[in-house]
Structure 1
Amino acid sequence: MATTIEQQTALDASLVRSTQRLRIGRSNFRLPSDIQSKEATLQVVYDVLRNSPLFRAFQVNADVPEIYMQEFWTTAKLHHNSIRFKIDTRKSVLDLEAFREMLHISPRNPNQLFADLPTKEEHLDFLRFLGHSHDIRYLTDVNVNKLYQPWRSFASVINKCLTGKSSRVDSFRLSQAQMLWGFYHRINIDFAYLIWEDFVYQVEHKSQKRSNEMNYPRFMKVIIDYFMTRKPSISR
């Protein structure tokens, strides 16, 4: 028997009260496989990303009930190196390897160990080397719009794909600087780990969140779909 609107509303409320729900705004940007740009510099960025381990992570998407996305953020807790959460009251555990699998991020060189990442100070030196036109003392001083091309476009596209933000004056995260460093040096860095660390940080500090907007909505959909596929008992 079909569920009425009133019944569905009651079911949703039993999972997450309306007062606890986050606003699901614009999703982090999805790169189409055939994306093109009339701007030459931006096209170079798309071509490089298309041949990088990150490209499929910037493409994946899924269609899932929004209430499960809300339930994830309400119940998610960091436990050692994993995240424990619920979908339709069913307990689940998300770790880095599952995250890597669902985002389809494969190492650039499967038989080669991931390169060690630079220190924060080395990253700041690297960003200065890329031509940041203003003084940088801390990562929060970085303004994407102050980078020389093509790195300005690289940083902007990565930011948009990860966070959904397209403004070049948005805050620049360490993980994004590390990704730029990996692209520049063409070395085998663990891109999945960098996104995972950002995701874990958001879960760990969700109680301190100032905005009422949900982080990483596209990745959230992929996570929910991954577990729904593996747990048929979860209602669609």
Structure 2
Amino acid sequence: MALSIADQIALDDALVAPADRLKIGKCNLRLSSDVTSKEATLQVVYDVLKLTPFYKAFQVTADAPEIYMQEFWASAYVHNRSVRFKMNNKKHIIGLEQFRDILQICPKVGNKKFVDPPLEKEILIFLASLGHSGDIRKITDVNVNKLHQPWRSFAAVINKCLSGTPSYDSLRLSQAQILWGMYNKKNVDYAYLLWEDFIFKIENKNTKKGSAMYYPRFTKLVVNYVMEKDPSIPRRNKVNWHYARDDPMFTTINVISRNETTQLYGAILPVALTNEDIRNSESYKEYYARASGTIHT
């Protein structure tokens, strides 16, 4: 017999009190598969990202009861680099390999080893080589808005869709390592970099506790994964669920302006990151003309 809404509310309140729940906000956005831009450089960025081994992480999503999302963040803690949490008051554990499966990216291929990305000192040299209109002595000095194109756009999309950073401005080491791996076409374990960001937020969730939920899209994926593995978890009659259609979509970057005088271009996009279709597109031709100095912003 189906529970009444009042009964379900009572059950939800027993799991996480309303006063302890987080706002499911806009961080960790989703990128539409058919996203386009009138800004040539941004369109090229979208096209190139589709060729990366971590592109699925921009799009993958799920439907999940909001109360289980709340319960995850209320109960989650890190133990031996795995995350332990409760769903419907039942204990669960996930680790990097489960997270890799959830995101559907970077599967291990035989005995092929992942390449370790550089640490901060080398990453800063790499970012400087791409163009950054400001001194960078440590990673906290890096500002997405000061990066030259197209890396400014790459960083901004990664920032909002994968790392869930509330601001476009900041760039964490893991995000810069994603850029490094992509630029150099290295076999980087991108799932590991995203996992480390995810568990960092769990470890520090009470340090600067805000009102917004971290990584709501990834949280839904974890909840959905556990529910698929354990059919005994109640579905709550599909009341108060967060659906894929509820995901805030990435539609534009507010630091991009077609006529902006600060639209600077650093290292040109390596040809190896493109394909013939991209190189033949009008967007790429316009981008390349701007980047090579044939036309000016």
Q: Is TM more than 0.5 here?
A: yes
* Residue 187 (structure 1) aligns with: 186
- In terms of Rg, which structure is larger? 2
In the TM superposition, what is the alpha-carbon distance from 1:108 to its structure 2 partner? Answer: 9.1
Q: Is 1:221 aligned with 2:220?
A: yes
Deviates more, 1:4-13 or 1:211-220: 4-13
- CA contact under 8 A between 1:102 and 1:222: conserved in structure 2? yes
CA distance in 2, matches of 1:67, 1:24: 11
How far apart in 2 are the matches of 1:110 and 1:155? 31
Does structure 1 residue 173 correspond to structure 2 residue 200?
Answer: no
Look up the match of 1:139: 139
**Distance in 1 separating the partners of 2:134 and 2:109:** 36
Match of 1:40 in 2: 40
Offset from partner CA, 1:144-173 (integer Å, 9 cap, x none): 01011000000000011024457532x211
SS of residue paired to 2:93: strand
Once the two structures are superposed, the pairs formed by residues 1-236 of structure 1 within 5 Å of their partners are 1-107=1-107, 112-165=112-165, 167-169=167-169, 171-236=170-235
**Cα RMSD over matched residues?**
1.7
Q: Distance in 1 between matches of 2:68 and 2:130?
A: 42
Q: Which amino acid aligns with 1:91?
A: K
| Letter matched to residue 140 of structure 1 | T
Q: Distance in 1 between matches of 2:110 and 2:179?
A: 20
SS of 2:45's equivalent?
helix
Are residues 53 and 110 of structure 1, via their aligned partners in 2, closer, same or farther at CA, if it must alter by over 3 Å? farther
Measure the CA separation in 2 of the matches of 1:205 and 1:98: 22
Q: CA deviation at 1:33?
A: 2.0
Q: 1:139 to 1:124 in 2, by over 3 A?
A: same
TM-score, scaled to structure 2: 0.75
Letter in 2 for 1:203: I
| Structure 2 counterpart of 1:50, one-letter code | K
Q: SS of the residue aligned with 1:233?
A: coil
Post-superposition shift, 1:109? 6.7
- Shift, 1:63, TM fit: 1.0
How many residues align? The count is 235
Separation in 2, partners of 1:110, 1:31: 30
2:293 aligned partner: none
Q: For structure 1, which runs of at least 5 residues remain unmatched after alignment?
A: none
State how far apart, in whole Å, the 1-side matches of 2:50 and 2:67 are: 33
Per-residue displacement from partner, 1:122-148 (whole Å, max 9, x unpaired)? 111111111110111221111101011
- Cα distance per residue 1:68-117 (max 9 Å; x no partner): 00100111111112111111111110100000001001259765311121
Conserved 8 A contact 2:163-2:197: no
Measure how far apart 1:34 and its partner are. 2.4
Say whether the 8 Å CA contact 2:145–2:152 is kept in structure 1.
yes
* Distance of 1:187 and 1:6 partners within structure 2: 53
Matched residues in 2 for 1:113 and 1:14: separation?
Answer: 46
Compared CA separation, residues 116 and 24, structure 1 to 2 (3 A): same
**% identity of equivalent residues:** 57
Q: Do the aligned partners of residues 178 and 139 (structure 1) sit closer, same or farther apart at CA in structure 2, a change above 3 Å counting?
A: same
